[in-house]
A and B are shown apart, each in its own frame.
Chain A
């Protein structure tokens, strides 16, 4: 499909800016493994402090890259399936809001005024620009939903009996989840934190802020994941050379995500005070609910891949696997997707362990956790994002991939590095190694009384994996920008692979409308969060004043 220059330009910027920022994000990833393994016994390197770097790492990789891509990929799917472009003015408005937000937050972080990590828990105080930047990034990402909803309604009026394309359904559901969950964090930032950081209010209720953050925080991980799911359902079967095993399975999974993505946030607060055990247990059970659509997806995809493998001539129980296009340059997306899925097997299993109520006390806030979520967000999410960014860019610009062979090897290199890294982190976590800690200056420094010899092998494994991931990541960035610098081969068009369904079930009206699901979503959220907020309100003491990262004495007044 031909698209306007303006559309192309927004998409290019929304894909290329986060990939450029990834150089900083991935650099700090490597540095963290170096410090943590005790190779460096210092608080900063090249003028950047450990925790400043960790904040940049979390914000760039997990918030900026993912949000920019979700918006760009949303525009692409909506435009491609409806054969119409979204409103240009709104596309640009959304882009500029997000970019301004990122620049503000980046300024605060690089100036060392916002080393509060990407979860920015109060009462550690960041510079107000950091909070404002985060708010703008979020508000900018809201804008497209309203325009897409308008386009969807128009389309539906003319096609009342046609199933909504699965990719469109996924995009809409993802942004509805995103809109609802970010309302809580927008409240946290705009109402609680910004006035407090400016000194207009004296204290903040830390427990309330944490609970609002996690209302957002778990759904955030589904906002990362759903664009990847859309690719797995609607693109992967095609590039594998087969069909999607069941179209209805995809729809059921998506609607279940709509119900269960948000009302599970307290599973991040199992170790928190002020929330009763019963409420925590209830959120734990609902979390098992959210594992159902993930399992539906896993089995549907496995069946789709088996179908593809057999169609390509594969035989036997496992023989079909060897026929899949593992290293096919013309289907390079397959390598990125399958690499992500391999990691996701481990990411999913470790995730269920985290969710399992009292089992969480074994792993909470230890290195196990980064071990787990690098196999989700830095696994299928990251590989899906970067692979698809490269694909969309090359089609839309009419340019050839600069290093096509290398391009099929990069994802596997990433997988190998990640498996070693995550093994080291998870093992360390089980031995009590804390996350979010510059281990090199204390626990991994033989000269320090806190030295822990039992964390040497685990952090070394993480370092080894980190080096391999760093190489893979840098090769990707190199390939991406070399492609951008390459020569145009044709005019370029908007194109994404479209999978047919093997079981293309009849349209079931319930799975083709939003209203009943939105009502159910609201009811479950209220059931889960009214008790949690009631607990927090009842059990919290006085609010907390502002603390800088380097001073146990609170800032009593801000210059007014």
Chain B
């Protein structure tokens, strides 16, 4: 099969562009620590909502979604804290979106989701349920309140 020179060039450029895409993706993932959520094996311990303070700026939040609330509903942390969110659902599928921080997870029955995020600026961050979870879905919201200590 004879391939035209210009066609060969186009194929080369295409491959190079895809390479560039993959590289940027990996670069951003490493540099900005922007990864998709981690998965953990199921463990019943995460079905108990709680906030653990590990040290002055490190927190663990066990967030439990249910129709139609997140528990804990208000999470207070100081500026500069790094928070590990562990997420599960007691019933149907829910979403967990902190849009300002690009936290985006699904809460699924019988499964534990996890992500880590650092809150560098004071403010009130909405956690919005963004998966349809029944008639009360549009009212399902929690907040992270980040203050100076």
| A residues whose Cβ falls under 8 Å from a Cβ of B | 43, 49, 51, 54, 117, 121, 123-124, 205-207, 210, 269-277, 280, 284-285, 288, 292, 295, 299, 356-362, 364-366, 431-432, 434-439, 441-443, 450, 452, 508, 535, 538-544, 547-552, 554
Contacts and interface: CB of A to CB of B under 8 A. Distances in A.
Given A434-B128, A436-B130, 16 more contacts: A43-B135, A124-B92, A210-B108, A271-B105, A273-B37, A273-B88, A273-B105, A273-B108, A274-B39, A299-B10, A362-B102, A434-B130, A437-B130, A443-B138, A450-B141, A547-B67
Interface string B95-136: 101011011111011111110000000000010111111110
Interface string B63-98: 000111000000000000000000110111101010
B38 interface: yes
Given A436-B131, A549-B135, A288 B22 contact: yes
A292 B135 contact: no
A541 B110 CA distance: 4
A285 B128 CA distance: 29
Interface string B131-148: 111110111010000000
B1 to A, nearest CB: 7
30 contacts: A49-B135, A121-B93, A206-B111, A271-B104, A272-B106, A272-B113, A273-B39, A273-B88, A273-B112, A274-B111, A277-B36, A277-B38, A288-B21, A356-B25, A357-B25, A358-B28, A358-B29, A358-B36, A362-B102, A362-B104, A364-B104, A365-B131, A432-B99, A434-B129, A437-B130, A439-B138, A539-B41, A540-B110, A543-B109, A552-B66
B71 to A, nearest CB: 12
Contact of A434 (B1, B14, B29, B95): B95
B93 to A, nearest CB: 5
Contact of B36 (A361, A431, A541, A543): A361
A549 B112 CA distance: 23
Contact of B137 (A206, A284, A366, A437): A437
B23 interface: no
Interface of B: 1, 10, 14, 18, 21-22, 25, 28-29, 34-44, 66-68, 87-88, 90-93, 95, 97, 99-100, 102-106, 108-114, 126, 128-135, 137-139, 141
Nearest to B37: A271
A542 B110 contact: yes
Contacts of A431: 99
Contacts of A365: 95, 97, 104, 130-131
Q: Which 10 interchain pairs have the tightest Cβ spacing?
A: A432-B99, A541-B42, A434-B130, A541-B110, A273-B113, A273-B111, A552-B67, A544-B109, A361-B104, A436-B132
Contacts of A360: 36, 104
A546 to B, nearest CB: 10
A360 to B, nearest CB: 7
Contact of B106 (A271, A356, A358, A540): A271
A488 B33 CA distance: 66
Contact of B14 (A295, A436, A538): A295
Contacts of A51: 132, 135, 137
Nearest to B139: A442
Contact of A273 (B40, B91, B104, B134): B40
A269 B128 CA distance: 18
Contact of B128 (A284, A432, A542): A432
Nearest to A364: B104
Contacts of A124: 92-93, 133-134
Contact of A552 (B42, B91, B105, B137): B91
A541 B44 contact: yes
A510 B92 CA distance: 48
A51 B36 CA distance: 29
Contacts of A285: 22
A273 B106 CA distance: 7
Tell which of B29, B35, B36, B97 has the most Cβ of chain A within 10 Å. B36
A43 B43 CA distance: 37
A494 B40 CA distance: 57
Contacts of B139: 441-442, 450
A438 B138 CA distance: 6
Nearest to B93: A121
Given A206-B111, A361-B103, A550 B134 contact: yes
Contacts of B104: 271, 360-362, 364-365
Contacts of A441: 138-139
Contacts of A359: 25
Contacts of B87: 273
Contact of A547 (B37, B111, B132, B134): B134
A362 B29 CA distance: 13
A154 to B, nearest CB: 30
A439 B100 CA distance: 19
A539 B39 contact: yes
Given A206-B108, A274-B39, A292 B14 contact: yes
Contacts of A292: 14, 18
Given A123-B92, A366-B97, A543-B110, A361 B102 contact: yes
Contact of A207 (B35, B108, B141): B108
Nearest to B107: A273
Given A206-B110, A271-B105, A273-B112, A361 B34 contact: yes
Contacts of A295: 14
A541 B130 contact: no
A541 B109 CA distance: 8
B28 to A, nearest CB: 7
B141 A123 contact: no
B97 A549 contact: no
A455 B141 CA distance: 16
Contacts of A274: 39, 108, 111
Nearest to B41: A539
Nearest to B24: A356
Q: Which of B40, B44, B109, B135 has the most CB of A within 10 A?
A: B109
